[in-house]
Amino acid sequence: MLKVIDDEKLIARYARLFTKSFRPFVDEKIRVKLGHQGASFGAKVAWSKKLGIWIFSQATRNVRYWNAFGRGKPPASGQLPITAEINFPWAGIDRRTGAAFAQDAQKQIYVIHRGIIGGGKKGIGKSLFEENYRGVWAWMEDGDSLAQVAVIGCLGSSRFALQAAQFVGKIEKLKSTAAFSSQTSLNFSEVSFREERVGNPPSSLPDAEMDACDHDLMISHLAAVLSRWKFKIGNDADMELFLMPPASDSVSHIFAACADGSEKNVLAAAAKLLLQKSARDGHPLAILVMPEAYVTKYVQPLRRISVDVLGYRTEGEKIIFPDLGRIKIDQN
């Protein structure tokens, strides 16, 4: 379980580390008018082509650390709406502020979000976030109460900026889809891979374990790599990633991911795959993705129950699938 950080000096330290995490990715600074018409101001935002986002950070003493984000390269001197904000209180606990820093039992620091999102449109708010956001969720000691929060990423990770950029992208899709939907719950019918579907909904169990922060990044990156093959790639509420041959409406490959090597999580992911496989015609290939270091331990036991194993490893900001070519592929 996480525990919120309320010490002013620690918040200041981590707020500096937060903004510093994006600097290696910045390509240029662009002067814009930030905000909406009638309430905008001149600002220089930092644009990152690799992350696909722009960032603007500003500290207001004794109030908050403000971090605004948007998707796509902004036009110079243009009016720039804000897609997402990841704001931290100056000190203490402020549940009206969207984000906070938290630590686990090993003193690892995370950036969490309470689901407070705005957009100036009906239906966009905390309820939309809680009912539709898919990602990493965790329970957190929030002062004298217990709260379930979305984990944006691990602050000390070399992939934190990528994790934060993915969060911004999910918020953009969440808002844009809600704007065109007459229902609070979002519905996706066509076969496609959507990053905003990746991850888990909030759990009702207070002892639910927090998934590793690289899980969503890894699934999205795997989908991008697989897109080079001649398959239709999709995901839905039940399957986080699947493949369909070009001229078929049947699922040929089902993927599930386990971001750590604990036996409990591996068995849970394998069981989920087997249930999904049994519900599909054509006996699709079930593939469990896990860290490379654990493949040897599980590859034979899982193959005995018709689950293949695909390993991955991280090198700095990169996620690599060294044995992807060994997956059985038949595109005919």
Segment 218-241, tens digit of pLDDT = 999 999 998 888 888 999 888 889
Rounded to whole angstroms, the Cα distance separating 199 from 213 reads 10
Q: Stretch 269-274: mean pLDDT, rounded?
A: 92
Write the pLDDT tens digit of every residue in 145-180.
999 999 999 998 999 999 999 999 999 988 887 655
The model's confidence at residue 51, banded by pLDDT at 50, 70 and 90, is very high
Q: What is the dihedral of CA 260, 262, 266, 269, to 10 degrees?
A: -70
pLDDT over 60 (residue 122): yes
User: Which positions ≥6 away from 293 have C-beta within 8 Å?
Assistant: 261, 313
3-state secondary structure of 145: strand
- Mean pLDDT of the 84-99 span: 95
CA quadruple 118, 124, 125, 129: dihedral sign: negative
Distance CA 261, CA 265 (A): 7
CA 120-124-128 angle, to 5 degrees, is: 165
Q: At what angle do helices 295-303 and 263-278 cross, to 10 degrees?
A: 30
Strand pairing category for 28-36 and 79-80:
parallel
pLDDT tier at 274, thresholds 50, 70, 90: very high
Bridge partners, 254 (sequence order): 242, 286
Q: Are 90 and 8 in contact (CB under 8 A)?
A: yes
CA distance 100 to 79: 28
* Structural Rg of the chain based on CA atoms: 21
137 Cβ contact partners less than 8 Å away, ≥ 6 residues apart: 148, 149, 150, 151, 200, 201, 202, 203, 208, 210
Inter-residue contact 235 to 173 (CB < 8 Å): no
